[in-house]
Amino acid sequence: MEIEQVDFVTVPTRDPERARAFYHETLELPLDPNNEREVTAGQVTLAFWEPESDGIEFSANGGGIALRVPDVAAARAELEAKGVEFAGTEDSGVCHMAFCTDPDGNTVILHRRYAPYG
Amino acid sequence: MADLGVERADFVAIPVQDLQRADEFYGKTLGLDRNPNSSERWVEYELGNVTLALVSPEAMGPDFRTEGHQMPIGLRVADVAAARAKLEAEGVEFQHETIDSGVCHLARFSDPDGNRLQLHRRYAPYRDGSSP
């Protein structure tokens, strides 16, 4: 079996319109040209899904999607000015990561690796 | 105001309780390419367009707990039925019959930590006539 690529990552939500507004307007991710109910984070499509409409209990994703930005501190400041709250910024030794949540409580990570690869 | 400047998704974090078990599942069962820069505490798999990062107690500390997240990741395969049969032969359980959405086939399963995954193949062309 060959897995070719990730076609989409699903963002669980209780309010797809609110979620789409956050990812499109606040995070400034473009709408997917093939499906305006989805957004694209560069090479990956983010699809919104209401688990409760499928009879599945909603549970926010704590793992997180790491979005590459040129400057984590600047991007964090810009989002904070829009009212997004951050849990903190970490320096892992190879990258900066700032952790926030979308309106449903799903983890979103602003990420920038500054160390060269091995 | 300057653009936020999101360039791409660098990785999707997969929370796992047992790093070794997850490593075997993503590497051997799903047959994904392991990033050679992986370490004993941080393991990544490369899927062509995005990295899956296994986030474990080894990386986050012994108090790290996960019950598996609900953020299904759609994995593109050439043939959903064939890929499903292959995984079932290796003991992977699927939660439903394969779904035909009208534009794609979807088969839902989970990794050993309960993280949701989907085998996915779109068969209908997009509105502009192109195909994935």
Can you name the CATH fold of B67-132? Answer: 3.30.720
Q: List chain B domain ranges.
A: 1-66, 67-132
B72/A106 Cα distance (integer angstroms): 13
* CATH code linked to domain B1-66: 3.10.180.10
Q: So what's the ipTM on this one?
A: 0.87
Q: Is the pLDDT of residue B79 over 70?
A: yes
A69, A78, A107: residue with CB nearest B7: A69
Q: Per-residue pLDDT averaged across B54-81, rounded?
A: 88
**Cβ-Cβ contacts under 8 Å, A111 against chain B:** 10-11
pLDDT confidence tier of residue B18, bands split at 50, 70 and 90:
very high
Nearest CA distance, B112 vs chain A (angstrom) = 15
The three-class DSSP label of residue A58 is: coil
Q: Per-residue pLDDT averaged across B98-125, rounded?
A: 93
Put simply, whether A115 touches B (Cβ < 8 Å) is no
pLDDT of A91 reads: 95
Please report, as a single letter, which amino acid is at residue B82.
Answer: A
For residue B71, the chain A residue with the least C-alpha distance is A10
pLDDT of B60 reads: 85
pLDDT of A18 reads: 95
pLDDT confidence tier of residue B72, bands split at 50, 70 and 90:
confident
For residue A110, the chain B residue with the least C-alpha distance is B6
Q: Per-residue pLDDT averaged across B15-36, rounded?
A: 95
Q: Rg of the Cα trace of chain B?
A: 16
CB B49 within 8 A of CB B88: no
Matching residue, tokens 């499509």: A45
CB B21 within 8 A of CB B110: no
- Least confident range of A25-39, B7-21, B62-76: B62-76
| A-proximal residues of B, 51-110, CB under 8 Å | 52-53, 55, 66, 69-78, 82-83, 86-87
Nearest CA distance, A116 vs chain B (angstrom) = 11
Q: DSSP code of B125?
A: P
| B-proximal residues of A, 24-43, CB under 8 Å | 27-29, 33-34, 41-43
Q: Is the pLDDT of residue A87 over 60?
A: yes
Query: What average pLDDT does the structure give for chain B?
Result: 90
pLDDT of B1 reads: 40
Q: In what order do the strands lie in the sheet containing A3-12?
A: A31-32, A35-41, A44-49, A3-12, B73-77, B116-122, B104-110, B99-100
Ordered domains of chain A (ranges, CATH): 8-53+61-113 (3.10.180.10)
